[in-house]
Structure 1
Amino acid sequence: MDLQKNKTYRCQITDYTADGTGFAKIEGRAVFVPRTAVGDQCDVRIVKVTKNVAFGRVEKIIVPSGQRIAPACPVADKCGGCCYQHITYGEELRAKEKKVRDALTRIGGQDGAKLLGITGAPTTEHYRNKAQYPVGRDKEGSIVTGFYRPRSHDIVPVDRCLIQSETADKIAAVVREWMTEFSVKPYDYASKRGTIRHIYVRVGEKSGESQLTLISATKKMPGLDVLVERLRAAAPSLTGILLNHNQRDDNVILGDRTDVLWGEPMLEDRLCGHTFLLSPEAFYQVNHAQAERLYACAVDYAGLTGEETVLDLYCGAGTITLALAEHAKTAIGVEIVPEAIENAKRNALRNGMENTEFFCADAGQAAQRLAKRGIDVLVVDPPRKGLDATARDAILKMQPPKVVYVSCDPATLARDVAELCGAGYTLEKARAFDLFPRTFHVETVVLLSKGEVDSKKIRVEFSLEDMDMSEFQDGATYTQIKDYVLEHSGLKVSNLYISQIKRKCGIEVGKNYNLPRSEDSRQPQCPPEKEKAIREAFKYFGMI
């Protein structure tokens, strides 16, 4: 019997999805239930049914999981920032470790035992050194800041966030009051009118400094002098108040121009024994204590003796580069953001690290140019979408004996590990680190080494006519796309559906791959919900 929408069923939660949603089997069908814990026995109302999966909402907890706790956050059931406020931290770590292990096994095709565990955070509250609050209005028209409701652009008002710094919350409150008093309107993305888009606060864990960057769609606004005065009184730790101009139509937070309203243009902090100056554009890990553990692991995996040339791709403000330079002959950092590279160069000089070089360039292109330098160890810390095709190709051309991969997304990490291992590398070991308590995000460090190539050769003959050669081109393989879609939406998709959507998106597909054998032949067409899930996978793997 198929599941019925709006009907309530009793079930037990047995697992979590990659985004922290609870998973249950009801009537043989996979059902995803938010805000549940493994071990919960509950009554679930079905709110949506698709061909292969369903989505439910808890009506009543019959027997709570032993890992369930009362959320400390009053808006935990509404805000899209945290998904694990309702379970113990030990259970959260177990779920995250399993998430990384499953990705390395299912997507990466690796031995899950190579993951040596997960390092938990010393605290789960007020650990973030970076806050970016969207600004809007509530139903009464009052100005609010907070975080987006899941899968929407509705702002859930949050005056005190348990994972953000208390300084950031205090600064946001001052800005809200100023906007109300001086009739400064929040930016409305639908009408493309208004002024303040985001309030961006960064704090230095070790320096004690803080910095505010207001992101505005207009260049002028009233009462800025008053705002500066009130901010300095409310938050004495402020060393800089900046105004960033962003008139883009998309949801990119920072624009191209930043002016200083008061104070210094950069924030200072200390990490891994080095002093760093940070512009608003520069990448800097949000959890200071865990970042030091993460980078120490990356340096350990690099196994440096002082004689190596190390290349650090996606180097940001040079945090990992300087940590590597302490133990290497030469450390080279590459980053595409000009402001970050300027920060990195200043930081190297500031810390007396003369054995460093920094280049502003695309990671893949820079790696190709630097291949002839003879790189002994390559360290990569890419964005969530992982390595692009150019970077992967450059790594394989460079053939460094060791690759240390720092990742913020297990799925794209596993995809890239599969590619590199398929080209002769071996996954030696890996360790996960929780830099984002109470959210589903997790960092991982892996060590890949260049293995011996088998000298035995086998002659294989096959026809290319019906083969989809895009498996060997940019993006993810069909298996990886299937795994991603299943993990994130619970839907099973076929090669036929993937190739159909590839053609719709203009992605190259083999000339005859999955086409009807004759003009009179009919093929099933990809349903809308599966097309949406496949397109999300394409975006995730950087294919569109």
Structure 2
Amino acid sequence: MPPFTTKTLRKAIVDRVLAGQPVTPLCPHARECGGCAFQDRTYADQVAAKTTILRMLYAEGGIDASALEVVASPDPFAYRTRMDYVATKGRFGLRARGKFNYIIELTTCHLIPPTAFAAAQAVWRHALDLGLPDYDVRTHTGFLRYVVVRRSPDDELLLAAVTAGGGEEAVMADLAATALAQPGVVGFHWLVNDSLTDVSFGEVCRYWGADRLAMRVGHFTCFIGPNTFFQNNIHLTERLINDAVAAAAPDATMRVADLYGGVGVIGLHLAQSAARVDCVESVAESVQLAHQNALMNKVSNIHPICADTLTYLREQPTGSLPVVVVDPPRTGLGLPVCQELIRIAPQRIVYVSCNPLTQVSDLQHLQSAYRIVGLRGYDMFPHTPHVEVMAVLERRVND
């Protein structure tokens, strides 16, 4: 078999799932909508397919993954903490699978609760009533680009309208009033993305109601904003974090690094056992929220640090970090970060990855100094080819 690429890994998962048992999907658009690829196959077959393909991928990289299992989402529906609905050409929905410029118009969506979808749709409909034109990604004309839903475990909602530049504040205030009148909505943000890049993030122009959303995870509550990264499975996030902390196993003598730490959710859990946790994050907004989350949860031994991970690691002496937890973006750690980790020589590394391909590459570098003692998948995105993997590494001693 040739080496896996992003395209072939996705195809391998898709082909394996589609060979499973067909079922009637909940959504009539499931076979064409880019939000769900596998609603027409049993969920057990989806998890089994991801398990098989992950084992193949890691074995191809020279990593024994024969014992790898994928933890299923407790519920494969209504699981997402964030949804980005496209508004274009009089349609409200998600992009068609494999057709970036075609929008599947949705009247419901089973990835979030019905009330959350209805709230987002109500905002879009009122925007049309107000005469706000949808954005055309081909011609780069129009105004309203996305309606974004952030949803908490308590089903509170933070909505955002992502628009092109321009617009009148009075009109957006009218739209905000409609948003805040929807059940569960605690805040509404107006985000401006005036670039040609089609992303559902933007600069905060104004907000009404709450500026943040409380995300309860275990014993802690972490606030997030409209642009903040947060794990996107409301049913499985706590399990993943608890497993990562248990694998890290810090004690009261240890200084621990939580790299790519975001708003501090993993760091707060680590701080229950560690002497000190450095929560390292390069996005200033997330670092500010991590500070606020530490104060609100009355945790004094977590220290949010606004820094690039590589820069932070280069400043740490060898032997200074007994335990390191990493949760990088899809690009992975990269060789320089792996080299710094090997130099610092933590006893244990817990590596949470949203991209198994880059994780395999990083693990190949780290294996010169570390043994992989655990691999486990987490199906954070049911009905899609995406899967999260946690690897646990122990430093080699006299191998």
User: Which TM-score band (shorter chain)?
Assistant: over 0.9
Cα offsets for 1:26-82 (capped at 9, x unmatched) = xxxxxxx6x9732xxxxxxxxxxxxxxxxxxxxxxxxxx5x2212222111211122
**1:328 counterpart residue number:** 274
1:426 and 2:339 equivalent?
A: no
- 1:74 pairs, out of 21, 28, 47, with 28
Q: Relative to structure 2, which stretch is displaced further, 94-103 or 312-321?
A: 94-103
Q: Does residue 1:215 correspond to 2:167, yes or no?
A: no
Q: Percent identity?
A: 30
Higher mean C-alpha displacement, 367-376 vs 291-300? 367-376
Question: In structure 1, what is the equivalent of residue 81 of structure 2?
Answer: 129
Q: Is 1:97 equivalent to 2:42 in the alignment? A: no
Which secondary structure does the structure 2 equivalent of 1:144 belong to?
strand
AA aligned opposite 2:384: T
Show the 5 A alignment for 1:338-377.
Answer: 338-371=284-317, 374-377=320-323
Distance 2:339 2:52 in 1: 30
**Structure 1 residue 351, shift from structure 2 partner:** 0.7
Matches within 5 A, 1:419-498: 419-421=365-367, 423-454=368-399
Check whether the contact 1:276–1:347 (CA below 8 A) recurs between aligned residues.
yes
1:149, 1:156 within 8 Å by CA — same for their partners in 2? no
State the AA in 2 paired with 1:182.
Answer: L
1:251 corresponds to: 198
Distance (Å, rounded) in 2 between the aligned partners of 1:302 and 1:262:
40
Match of 1:19 in 2: 10
SS in 2 for 1:100: helix
8 A contact 1:99–1:410 mirrored in 2: no
Decide which structure has the larger Cα Rg and report it. Answer: 1
Shift of 1:21: 5.6
- How much is the aligned-residue C-alpha RMSD, in angstroms? 2.1
Report what 1:181 is aligned to: 129
Superimposed CA distance per residue, residues 157-205 of structure 1 (whole angstroms, 9 cap, x where no aligned partner): 1221111232331122112212221221112222222111111110111
With the length of structure 1 as denominator, give the TM-score of the two structures.
Answer: 0.69
| Aligned counterparts, 1:35-434, within 5 A | 37-38=18-19, 67-107=21-61, 109-115=62-68, 117-137=69-89, 142-206=90-154, 208-221=155-168, 223-233=171-181, 235-255=182-202, 257-371=203-317, 374-421=320-367, 423-434=368-379
Structure 1 37/146 Cα, relative in aligned 2: closer, same or farther at 3 Å? closer
SS in 2 for 1:113: coil
CA contact (8 A) 1:240 1:260 kept: no
1:27 aligned partner: none
- Corresponding residue for 2:3? none
Q: Structure 1's 22 and 369: CA in aligned 2 closer, same or farther, altered over 3 A? A: closer
Deviations along 1:473-497, one digit per CA (max 9) or x if unpaired, are xxxxxxxxxxxxxxxxxxxxxxxxx
| Contact 1:213/1:244 (8 A) holds in 2 | yes
Unaligned runs of 5+ in 2: 1-6
CA contact (8 A) 2:162 2:193 kept: yes
Aligned residues: 392
Q: Read off the aligned partner of 1:252 and give its amino acid letter.
A: V
| CA distance in 1 between partners of 2:183 and 2:25 (Å) | 32
The one-letter amino acid of 2:31's match is: D
Distance 2:158 2:276 in 1: 33
Mapped partners of 1:279, 1:254: distance in 2: 11
Summarize the Cα distance change of 1:145–1:327 in structure 2 as closer, same or farther, 3 Å threshold. same
Structure 1 Cα separation of the partners of residues 48 and 317 of structure 2: 40
Secondary structure (helix, strand or coil) at the match of 1:370 reads coil
The answer (yes or no) to whether the contact 1:334–1:359 under 8 Å persists in 2 is: yes
1:355-374 CA deviation, whole Å, 9 max, x = no partner? Answer: 11111111111122234570
Q: Deviations over 1:481-527 (max 9, x none)?
A: xxxxxxxxxxxxxxxxxxxxxxxxxxxxxxxxxxxxxxxxxxxxxxx
In structure 2, how many angstroms separate the alpha carbons of the residues matched to 1:103 and 1:409? 12
2:75–2:235 contact (8 Å) kept in structure 1: no
Please report the TM-score for the alignment, with normalisation by the length of structure 2.
0.93
More RCO (CA 8 Å, sep 6+): 2
Letter in 1 for 2:387: V
* Alpha-carbon offset, residue 427 of structure 1: 0.5
Over residues 123-170 of structure 1, what are the superposed CA-to-partner deviations in whole Å (9 max), with x where a residue is unaligned? 111111111112111xxxx34233343252321112211112323311
